[in-house]
Structures are given as structure tokens and as C-alpha cells.
Amino acid sequence: MALSPILVQKYNRPVPRYTSYPTVPLWEEELSSSGWENLVRKAFKMTGSKEGLSLYIHLPFCESLCTYCGCTKRITKNHDVEDPYLKAVFREWSHYLGLFEGLPKIAGIHLGGGTPTFFSAQNLNFLISKILKSAEVLPDHEFSFEGHPNNTTFGHLQELARLGFKRVSYGIQDFDLTVQKAIHRIQPFEKVREATENARKIGYTSVNFDLIYGLPHQTLETLKETFDRVYELKPDRIAFYSYAHLPSAFPAQKSFEDFLPNEREKRALYDAGKEMLIEMGYEEVGMDHFALPDDPLCIAKRTGNLHRNFMGYTTSPSEMLIGLGSSSISDIGLGFAQNEKNSSSYEQILKENKLPIIKGHIQTEEDKVTRKLILDLICQGKANVPFSIWEKLPIENMQSLFEMEEEGLVKINEGTISVTAEGMAVVRNICMQFDMRMIASKAQKASFSKSI
């Protein structure tokens, strides 16, 4: 059932995406580089040495600017930047190797960007093969990368497959040419078809498409045409994201803001897209994510084993995620740390044999409890709320939860809160009611994208 226009208007407010808890703007930032190193050593002994660890590697370069994009990137056509950057990434990984007691076990690798396929297949092989030689790869590892359909070559796919990559995610966004021109992301359908079919020929077990709703010039008609094209290729997974309009942070977004749908039109786009996906045979995994029924994500959702971190929804139980590369964020359970965002400064810091940490956060016991609650809501759609959380909730947050129950968005029963099908549309708003850091800081919510 679609969310009513009244509820769309009520809940379309700036809300964190909860890729972490606390969210990055609310980190206490009391973590020094040496403090982070000690935390990493402790986390590796506790969990990393047993269940393995995952790596997120940020590759920030793009040849042209996609004006909708909110990622950390560096625009250049100079491919001479590849070699020094990848050497810096391996230098960072080598620094972490010096902190681990014993050989690390790698459960997962994800290459994100920017545009990872900006880098040549040979250069990606250089980095990944060196990392793999320095660690043990777990048998059920999950390696994935983000590819631009226009420049993901057969060679890219083949080289990464040899290294153990079996999942690829293509940034599609929309197939309508008017929309593509507005967001400066022109990619013909035939290029997407070629990239998708090449991945399947080589043996990739999962192809994901990233789509966005709420883009300039999008209408229900153009969205249907996009989804008709998607259905022709039938990817295994689909991420159907809400466009986040933050022109104060990303000035290029101002170029098309007069052509954006209003909040009701935007929500109608999502509802229509979701309905089409269900008709195509996809199941809703969680916030913004869909997959075919036999996909591991759907199976994990049904069995209660779905996890979520900075890389999105995952089936990997690994609690330790190390971020490599400029702007990358590490999440090791005990705390978070983010790297220097500027790629040149990132490289320089590593030449000085230091980790490029610019901010971080050490998790308190209350943070850990709240984080589990929020992850349970986002991954499983329900959570047991400890009394220690209930007793600290301000009266206005309790009232908001009771209102949500009356509106049919949640069900509250003896300390358990369950999100209804309608409530999943505003699950971020529901999570925010339990955000103890947000409550304590009364943070400026305008720094977050709107929930709808």
C-alpha cells in the first residue's frame, strides 16, 4: 500500500541514512591515529582473526562529473594518477598488516568510487593481487565492484573474475535520454546490455543495477520505459535509491533543481517503481534494495541473517570492515574512522608512514545497544527495545512512536517494535526516534537528505 500524501508531507524531513550509528556528523572525533591503531589491534583479536574482515577500497577518480552525484570524487582525464594512488592504497594496507597479530582472513572486498573502472584492468590486478598475497581468502568470500557501463571492458571483468570477483554493480540511474543529459550521465542501453552480458558470459553470479528516483525530468511514463529496459536484462539485484538533493554540499546539483519532481510526485515514482519490481518477480530486501527470490540477500532476509554496513546490505557476518583509500570509512565494531578526503593529501600522509585518519569515534556501550536496535529495524523490520533505551526516550519521541502506531507504520508490543509494510517507506524516521546521539545533540537535521 502506498503512503498517503498526508504522511508523505509529514515525514519527508532530513533524516540520517543510518549507514552507521552514530551517524558521521555526530561522531565525537576524540580518536587519534595511535588510538585507532590500538582499537584495530583489539578488534582483530576479538573478531577479525576468527570470522575474517572485509575491505572497502575507495577509487575516487572519474573522467567527467555526474551532476547528481554526492560521492567523494576527483574529476580528471589524466590516467597518470592511477599508479601513485594504488601504491598509496597498498601502503595503507601494509600499515594495517603491521597491526594484525597473524595472517588476516579476507571475507569480502568491495571496490567503490568514484569510478573503479577508471583504472585499467592491469592496475586493478596489481593492487588486488598484492593484497590477496598478503592474506588468506576465506572459501565463501564475496568480492564485488562498481562499474560504469561505458568503460567496464571485457578485460576488466575477466581480470577481476580471475581474482575472485563474482558480483558487479552498474550505475544505471535512468535510461531516459533527457534525464541522462540533465544529470550528465549519458550511457546508451546497448552499452549496458553489453556490460551485463559480458559479466554473465565470464561467470559473474550477480549483476546489480543502481537506479535513482526523483531525478530531474523523471515522470511515471519515463520511469516505466526505464523499467521495461531493466526487465529486458533482469539483473539479480536492484538498488532503487532516492535522489538526495543537497546543493549546498554539491553545487552542481543546482543546475537542474528547477526540473525536480515535488515530494508527492517523487513518492509516486517510488511507489510505481516498487510495484513494477514486484511484478517482475523481485522481493524487497530492505530500504531501497530488491533482489530475485533465490538471491543470497533474499535468503538472508528470510532466515534473519541479513547485515548492513557502509557497503550496503550484505550476507557477510564479518564485523570488521577496513576502509582503504581517500575518504574511506572503517567500521570495526568498537569504533569508526574516516580517511583524508583529498586524494593528493591522502597519498602524502601515507608517504610519511602514517595512517590518513581525519576523524573517528569510539563506541560506548549505549552506542552498541542503539546500533543493534537500528540495524535490526533496517534489516529485519523489527527489534526488541531494551528498557535502558525506553526509559531515556524523551516524551516527544514516545509520542511520535505512538502516532506512528496509530498511522499504521509500526506495531508496539511489550517492548518490541515492528515496522509494517507501509512503515518501511519511513523506516529512517522510525530509527531516528531511538537515535540517542541525535536526541542529546539536537543536531541540525538539514545536514541529512530528506527521507522521501
For the annotated binding site, the residues are 56, 62, 66, 68-70, 113-115, 146, 173, 185, 210, 244, 329
- Which residues define the annotated binding site for S-adenosyl-L-methionine? 56, 68-70, 113-115, 146, 173, 185, 210, 244, 329
- Residue 415 CB neighbour total at 10 angstroms: 12
Q: Which DSSP letter does residue 119 get?
A: S
Are the beta carbons of 59 and 323 closer than 8 angstroms? no
- Which residues define the annotated binding site for [4Fe-4S] cluster? 62, 66, 69
Assigned C-alpha cell, 292: 530475485
H or E segment and range at residue 130: helix 121-133
Q: Give the integer Cα–Cα distance in Å for 69 and 91.
A: 29
Q: Give the integer Cα–Cα distance in Å for 35 and 91.
A: 20
Report the sign of the C-alpha dihedral through residues 153, 155, 156, 158, in that order: positive
- Is residue 122 classed as helix, strand or coil in its secondary structure? helix
Are the beta carbons of 215 and 249 closer than 8 angstroms? no
| Nearest by Cα to 381 from 414, 427, 337 | 427
Report the sign of the C-alpha dihedral through residues 141, 142, 147, 151, in that order: positive
Angle, alpha carbons 102-32-85 (nearest 5°) = 70
Q: How many CA atoms lie within 13 A of 424 on its CB side?
A: 19
Assigned C-alpha cell, 75: 574529476
Pairing, β 136-147 against β 165-173: parallel
* Angle in degrees, 0-180, between the axes of helices 154-162 and 121-133, rounded to the nearest 10: 10
Q: Give the integer Cα–Cα distance in Å for 283 and 294.
A: 10
Residue bearing cell 561505458: 150
In sequence order, the β-bridge partners of residue 151 are none
Pairing, β 237-242 against β 206-213: parallel
Assigned C-alpha cell, 360: 573517528
